[in-house]
Amino acid sequence: MKKTIIALAVLMITGQNLTAQQLPKDQRMQWWREARFGMFIHWGVYAVPAGTWNGRQIGNIGEWIMNRGKIPVEDYKAMAKDFNPVKYDPDSWVKMAKDAGMKYIVITSKHHDGFALFKSEASKWNVVDHTVYGKDLLKPLAEACKKHGIKLGFYYSQAQDWVNPGGTAIRRLTKEGWPNPDSVIIDAYTKEHNGHWDWRQETKTFEQYINEVSVPQVRELLTNYGEVAVLWWDTPNGMTVEAATKFQSLLAIQPQIITNDRLKRPDFPGDHKTPEQRIPNLADLDGTDWETCMTMNGTWGYKSYDLNYKSPQTLIRNLIDIASKGGNLLLNVGPTAEGEFPQQSIEILSEMGKWMKVNGEAIYGTKASPWGLFPWGRCTRKDTKNGTSLYFSVFEWPADRKLTISGMKNSVISAKLLANGARVKTVRTKEGELIISLPAFSPDPMASVVRVDVRGKVAEKIKQ
């Protein structure tokens, strides 16, 4: 308690300076607000078991297998011998992201299993010192991103760490997917030990872990890989104000960096919110920047038997929905231990890329819909030199082939379908509603975008 008060006082005194080390928020967020679409990559030793441990399929998300299966530290570490990503081709990863229309990549530099995908002096539990592969995985990715003009960010699990001693562990019971006869004993143990299931996890204090591993590793990440666009914290559980303050001051190394809201709650809000596996309702939005992170199937880290992929149509419409509400989509890929994207992910990325090539202008650099949602689809908007472009993405082609837009007085300059450039007729009713007359059939089953250019600025909020 006393420590917290002291740390809070320090924060209040130095807080000004801490943020002053960063460039102004609007300046830092500019590229991110225009980008709208990025790739999340969850990659680590969990790709080796790929959801199966000791012949049993462990339930829940793949990167949690060590915790869910209560795998002993030494057994988990032994799996690193099979983490040999000889097929890793960062150039092709970045190209796939770019061709999909993504503008940035965020990769798990260290997830909760503590395994660093980079050379680290702070812990030997890293890809260089602990695998036969023996090479830093982030260096060549950073180079490929630079070459292709894609921004690179690092996910880093700052508090939760199940291998480096002193890290926290969120308590998850073994009953899910782990019919181990010892599970009752293990669960009782985790209750007494703050979620830990192996005595090795508690051979150092949290403070030691923060000072000896976590802070030094973040410093390495911010120092050794050129420009870092995003630092994506995760699971603030167990964080202290002292620790968060240390991380926060490291950001001075990268004054342009963007951080999320998962460093420590509630005193460190970061730059954007992180709704997970869901798209917020309009009513939940308060003007704070936000990014939905989402999986293509049901797991972040690779699971060999999770084939429950969302359709490209669903994912494209999710992206449109998100853009229409003013947010970003960070869409996940979980590569295999050999270093390949799953085939289904490759196909989804390519389908999304096809749509984005034609319709990307309805996404990039757009702002939220003035009308909110339509029953038939979504809208995004962009200020142009002489007026405003409105992008109406149609999901459900109306039976009467008419879109009725109310509450907008601006006169129409032109209206066309992005899919084929075909002109679209618009008329104004005497009540002032704009009626857009669509052709008989939707030209694109994913979503067909009608771009309507109008004169002047359109109000930010219009009642439907």
Nearer to ligand JFZ (CB atom), residue 168 or residue 366: 168
10 Å CB burial of residue 21 (0-12, 13-18, 19+) is middle
- Is residue 53 within 8 A of residue 177, CB to CB? The reply is no
Site for ligand JFZ in 169-198 (CB under 6 A): none
Give yes or no for residue 284 binding ligand JFZ (CB under 6 A): no
DSSP SS3 for 33 = helix
Nearer to ligand JFZ (CB atom), residue 110 or residue 451: 110
Euclidean distance between CA atoms 333 and 163, whole angstroms: 24
Q: Which stretch binds ligand JFZ (CB under 6 A): 60-68, 209-217, 316-324, 441-449?
A: 60-68
- For residue 42, the minimal CB distance to ligand JFZ (Å) is 6
Site for ligand JFZ in 193-232 (CB under 6 A): none
Pick one of 32, 43, 63, 239: the residue that binds ligand JFZ (CB under 6 A).
63
Give yes or no for residue 234 binding ligand JFZ (CB under 6 A): yes
Euclidean distance between CA atoms 442 and 440, whole angstroms: 7
Q: For residue 327, what are the β-bridge partners?
A: none
Give yes or no for residue 460 binding ligand JFZ (CB under 6 A): no
For the four alpha carbons of 167, 333, 292 and 246, in that order, the dihedral sign comes to: positive
Give yes or no for residue 61 binding ligand JFZ (CB under 6 A): yes
Per-residue interface string for the shown chain with ligand JFZ, residues 293-322, x marking contact by CB under 6 A: x------x----------------------
- Is residue 295 within 8 A of residue 277, CB to CB? The reply is yes
- Which value, to the nearest 10 degrees, does the dihedral of the CA atoms of residues 233, 237, 241, 246 take? -40
Pick one of 183, 235, 249, 344: the residue that binds ligand JFZ (CB under 6 A).
235
Six-digit token pair at 166?
Answer: 């002193």
Nearer to ligand JFZ (CB atom), residue 46 or residue 125: 46
Q: Which helix (H) or strand (E) holds 72?
A: none
Nearer to ligand JFZ (CB atom), residue 44 or residue 353: 44
Count residues contacting ligand JFZ (CB under 6 A)?
8
Give yes or no for residue 271 binding ligand JFZ (CB under 6 A): no
Q: Which stretch binds ligand JFZ (CB under 6 A): 24-32, 57-65, 142-150, 392-400?
A: 57-65
Cα separations (Å) of 136 from 114, 148, 339? Answer: 15, 20, 13
Euclidean distance between CA atoms 165 and 325, whole angstroms: 42
Give yes or no for residue 233 binding ligand JFZ (CB under 6 A): no
Nearer to ligand JFZ (CB atom), residue 63 or residue 444: 63
Edge-to-edge strand ranges of the sheet holding 425-428: 402-405, 434-437, 425-428
Pick one of 34, 75, 121, 276: the residue that binds ligand JFZ (CB under 6 A).
276
Euclidean distance between CA atoms 442 and 237, whole angstroms: 48
- For residue 160, the minimal CB distance to ligand JFZ (Å) is 7
Nearer to ligand JFZ (CB atom), residue 239 or residue 434: 239
Six-digit token pair at 459?
Answer: 């109000």
Six-digit token pair at 308?
Answer: 């429950």
Amino acid at 171: R
The residues that touch ligand JFZ, with contacts defined as CB under 6 A, are 61, 63-64, 234-235, 276, 293, 300
